[in-house]
Amino acid sequence: MARGERGPPTDRPGGDGRARPDRLGLRLAGALCLLLGPLAALAWASDLPLLLPSLGPSAYVLVTRTDAHRALVRETALGQAIGVLTAFVAVRALVGPLAVVALLPHTVLGLHQVAAVVVAVVAATLGMSALDARHAPAYATVLIFALGIPARGIDVLVFLVGVAALLALDAARRRLPIVGRPLPDA
């Protein structure tokens, strides 16, 4: 098991007083639904990029890691912020505004996109390392924004609001009796 990860979640005590594994993943699924469901509904209702694919892994990390919660929140917030900002700046500096969402094969602009991805990954790694906020799911954010999904500057701010909403939902989830309590090792 990697540092900070938990074993399988549990759902109720076994005959020996120990908690039994949540073999079906019901508590884990419930916790993830509490984090991502409201955010997805808000994104749908507002038509804003509040929920991007990289927030799914961030939600999983928030639910399953045993690190001190304050440190985990800091890592998630800073890691995602660094990822989105470095990708957006790299694309704007090396490519300019993107009209197409994809790598453009066999074109000079496509090579600029490749360079932007590399620069963004390096810059995000250096930034997260410098601030001790290494958050693996932020690399998905780097790639999403480096490919121009979404492409507007306001989308960076909207995504960061989505990260803040995810963290607020997680704080509320942690107060709930079943899905909020720690998911201990089996």
**HEC assignment per residue over 55-101:** HHHHHHHHHHECCCHHHHHHHHHHHHHHHHHHHHHHHHHHCCCCCCC
Q: Is residue 178 part of a domain?
A: no
Tell me whether residue 44 is in a domain: yes
Any domain includes 1: no
Task: Reduce the DSSP state of residue 12 to 3 states and report it.
Answer: strand
- Does residue 57 carry a pLDDT above 70? yes
DSSP, res 104: -
Examine residue 146 and state whether it is found in any structural domain, yes or no: yes
pTM: 0.80
**Residue 125 lies in domain:** 19-173
With bands split at pLDDT 50, 70 and 90, how would you rate the model's confidence at 69? Answer: confident
Which of 171, 145, 173 has its CA nearest to residue 159?
145
Angle at 153 between CA 151 and CA 159, to 5 degrees: 85
Task: Please report whether residue 35 resides in a domain.
Answer: yes
Q: List beta partners, residue 13.
A: 19
* Domain annotation covers residue 8: no
User: Per the structure, how many domains does the chain have?
Assistant: 1
Render pLDDT for 77-88 as a digit per residue (tens, 0 to 9).
999 999 999 999
pLDDT for residue 170: 93
Rounded to the nearest 5 degrees, what angle is found at the Cα of 105, between the Cα atoms of 96 and 98?
Answer: 20
- Note whether 79 and 134 are within 8 A (CB): yes
Of all residues in the chain, what percent carry a pLDDT higher than 90? 46
Q: Tell me, yes or no, whether 78 lies in a domain.
A: yes
129: pLDDT strictly greater than 80: yes
Give SS3 for 20. Answer: strand
Does a structural domain hold residue 80? yes
